Amino acid sequence: MGQRIVLIAIILVNLFSLATLKAEDMPSHRIFTKDGKATNFSSLLDASLKSEIIFFGELHNNPICHWLRLQLVKAIYSKIGKKLIIGAEMFEADDQLKIDEYFSGLINQTNFEKEVKLWNNYKTDYKPLLEFAKDSGLKFIATNIPRRYASSVSRKGFAILDSVAPEGKRFIAPLPIDVDLELPGYKKIREEMKGSHSSDYIAEAQAVKDATMAYFISRNYEKGKLFLHLNGSYHTNNFEGIVWFIARNNPKFKMLTIATVEQVDINYLDDKNLNIADFILVIPLDMTKTY
């Protein structure tokens, strides 16, 4: 009987050890500084609180970056309350009125979700954050250009924007769009899309999105507050895109960038991902996707 008890105890200890080993050896993510030094969420939070604008660059279909961003927003809110403003690429500027009406209680959730141009992964990836902002009384800013205009630019270039009615131009960065299309990020997207029917103007389409998001971030930033912006990592990687537009017009802004990457091995930062942002969130390549 005594031997049986000892055997059961050994089995339980081994099972516990295996569970612990799995938890420690299979993390969902790691955080690194731009020079590849391992860091943690507390350091990311501390740096965020010293900033004026934070760009949380995500991989749109990766659940870990959506979860971690929500935790960062909640942690920042616990420190500064309503001094936090949230903005997002995932909402187009011409839907700002509907967001404001929903937050004020004028329209209900059902009508809001029917009428706003929501991304397919809204309910799993963005709704929790938007609802947190609403419940916490935070401002939520739609920063992106309406997709119909971005699509037109991808087909015909910046010149097509001159024909947009004055009412429509309210939802676009001031024209003409002044940008250096030889920046590495824009050159790379042209190369990646080479051969596509829209390749001639794909960089212009990306630039008008970046310019418009930068415009609405700058316009809605309030001195003494912190603006956290959600966007695809490619819009702010290497401190280009949105960051470039804001820095050119407002070089004194204290901006912090977060990039999200996927790697086979997340125990170190791949050389290709060094210096792409102030903090880099590294997630296993085989992580489950939301779509």
Q: What is the mean pLDDT of each run of 10 residues along the chain (291 residues)?
A: 47 44 74 98 98 98 97 98 98 98 98 98 97 98 98 96 98 97 94 74 97 98 98 98 96 96 97 98 96 93
Name the residue among 7, 64, 5, 16 with its Cα closest to residue 280. 64
Per-residue pLDDT, 10: 41
Per-residue pLDDT, 48: 98
**Predicted TM-score (pTM) above 0.75:** yes
Q: H or E element: which one contains 287?
A: none
Cβ 215 vs Cβ 174: under 8 Å: yes
Name the residue among 106, 145, 112 with its Cα closest to residue 131. 112
Extents of the domains making up the chain: 29-284
Cβ 41 vs Cβ 71: under 8 Å: yes
Q: Could you give the CA distance from residue 157 to residue 159 in angstroms, rounded to a whole number? A: 6
DSSP 57: E
Q: Helices 127-136 and 96-104 meet at what angle, rounded to 10?
A: 50
Per-residue pLDDT, 200: 79
| pLDDT tens digits for range 153-162 | 999 999 999 9
Per-residue pLDDT, 26: 81
Report how far Cα 192 is from the mean position of its chain's Cα atoms.
Answer: 22
Per-residue pLDDT, 18: 41
Name the residue among 111, 82, 116 with its Cα closest to residue 97. 116
Per-residue pLDDT, 257: 98
Name the residue among 194, 200, 191 with its Cα closest to residue 156. 200
Per-residue pLDDT, 14: 46
Cβ 52 vs Cβ 25: under 8 Å: no
Largest Cα span, the chain: 88
Per-residue pLDDT, 13: 42
Per-residue pLDDT, 25: 73
User: DSSP readout, 76-127?
Assistant: HHHHHGGGEEEEEEEEEGGGHHHHHHHHHTSS-HHHHHHHS---TTIIIIIH
Cα–Cα separations (whole angstroms), residue 100 to 95, 134, 144: 9, 9, 16
Cβ 53 vs Cβ 255: under 8 Å: yes
Per-residue pLDDT, 192: 87
Name the residue among 179, 233, 230, 236 with its Cα closest to residue 208. 179
Name the residue among 163, 285, 185, 198 with its Cα closest to residue 238. 185
- Fold type of domain 29-284: Rossmann fold (3.40.50)
Q: Could you give the CA distance from residue 44 to residue 282 in angstroms, rounded to a whole number? A: 14
Q: Could you give the CA distance from residue 244 to residue 235 in angstroms, rounded to a whole number? A: 10
Per-residue pLDDT, 24: 58
